[in-house]
Amino acid sequence: MIIQTTFDFDMMFSNARDAFAEEMTAMAEEGYDFAFTYSDNVAPSSAAGKFINKYPERCFNFGIAEQNQVAASAGIALSGQIVFAQVFGPFLPLRAADMIHTDVCYNDLPVRLIGTHSGVTAGGGPTHNNIADLALYRAIPNLTVIVPADAGQCIKAVRESIAYSGPMVIRIARGDEPNVYASQDYDFNIGKAIQIKDGDDISLIGTGSAVYWALMASKALEADGISARVIDMHTIKPLDTEAIKRCADETGGIITIEDHSIYGGLGSAVAEVLCEYGNGTKFARIGMPDEFSVLGDPSEIYHYYGLDQSSIAERAKKLCKLKR
């Protein structure tokens, strides 16, 4: 099917945090039974705040005790309920790692951890940047890891999670992010990547908000006669290895783009697949380097570290030259 994207539009923004909470409200109104736990990053005026006001009996506030929140979410799930747990992103993997590992995942419980403020979007500087979480999540057994490309896809992930077994992390940004999809009329399946643009010369595989920048970079590359395929790898675990192999066979070059450290995240996952596949595909990773980030607005940080569309396009040109 043809997938409508914002490829030819100026940036259109939406908020995955609000979208997630609005979908919770819709599901509650449809009769789905689940609990909601949250930390101190929920304002009364937000969509989540309105959900709490409407359904107080199923909501539990843990303030700034993220470890307790994750552990209690596991306890609630042991009673047989699905639990959505909205946790401030940087503190979810760094403070509550033991609870994620032992309480939630060891017991294989239906807890959906909604990690907000991911990547460098927190606005609190290097201590609040969340760039090592995917490395942790990928190594924990039983844990499904989803990084929606935009707010609309976040809704799809939340809806799909209701019927999905076991623990799950849904990793979203702080606030307004560019929309990738102009229409929600497309299939979303956990563990199956989405090819949103055809291309024969190189493949750009992005996850989360980086999918948009990959899409914009592919547009810039057209001016240089380079046909770039764009893949939305919304599920980091389980990874769609067949999609990666198709890109390797059909384009001969792959670049991964992520708002995460280049170590342990999407780039590492794709590299593992390519090394075992062994077809000699040219490969590069774009992400945060092995350092604490400079201070700045996310868009400034992306440009500084080469995650913006012009930097991605330049990296793609260099990789295409290596193929010749």
pLDDT band for position 258 (cuts 50, 70, 90): very high
pLDDT tops 50 at residue 2: no
Distance of CA 183 to the CA centre of its chain: 19
| pLDDT for the residue 324 | 63
> What is the per-residue pLDDT across 75-126, written as a single tens digit (0 to 9) for each?
999 999 999 999 988 899 999 999 999 999 999 999 999 998 898 988 888 8
| pLDDT for the residue 89 | 83
Domains of the chain, residue spans: 13-178, 194-323
pLDDT band for position 7 (cuts 50, 70, 90): low
Instruction: Report the C-alpha gap between 293 and 308 in whole angstroms.
Output: 15
Instruction: Report the C-alpha gap between 262 and 310 in whole angstroms.
Output: 19
Residue 245 or 43, more confident: 245
| pLDDT for the residue 4 | 58
> What is the per-residue pLDDT across 190-205, written as a single tens digit (0 to 9) for each?
999 999 999 999 999 9
Q: Does this chain's domain 13-178 share its CATH topology with 194-323?
A: yes
pLDDT band for position 139 (cuts 50, 70, 90): very high
Instruction: Report the C-alpha gap between 207 and 115 in whole angstroms.
Output: 15
> What is the per-residue pLDDT across 161-195, written as a single tens digit (0 to 9) for each?
999 999 999 999 887 788 899 888 899 999 999 99
pLDDT band for position 262 (cuts 50, 70, 90): very high
| pLDDT for the residue 307 | 92
> What is the per-residue pLDDT across 30-89, written as a single tens digit (0 to 9) for each?
999 999 999 877 767 688 888 888 999 999 999 889 999 999 999 999 999 999 999 988
Least confident stretch, 13-17, 117-121, 220-224, 229-233 = 13-17
Among 1.10.3720.10, 3.40.50.970, 1.10.287.130, 2.60.40.10, what is the CATH number of 13-178? Answer: 3.40.50.970
pTM exceeding the 0.85 threshold for the entire prediction: yes
| pLDDT for the residue 20 | 85
| pLDDT for the residue 1 | 42
| pLDDT for the residue 10 | 53
Q: What is the CATH number of domain 194-323?
A: 3.40.50.920
Strand order in the sheet with 111-115: 59-61, 34-38, 82-87, 111-115, 168-171, 144-146, 235-237
**Length of the chain, please?**
324
Q: How far apart, in Å, do the first and last CA atoms of the chain sit? A: 32
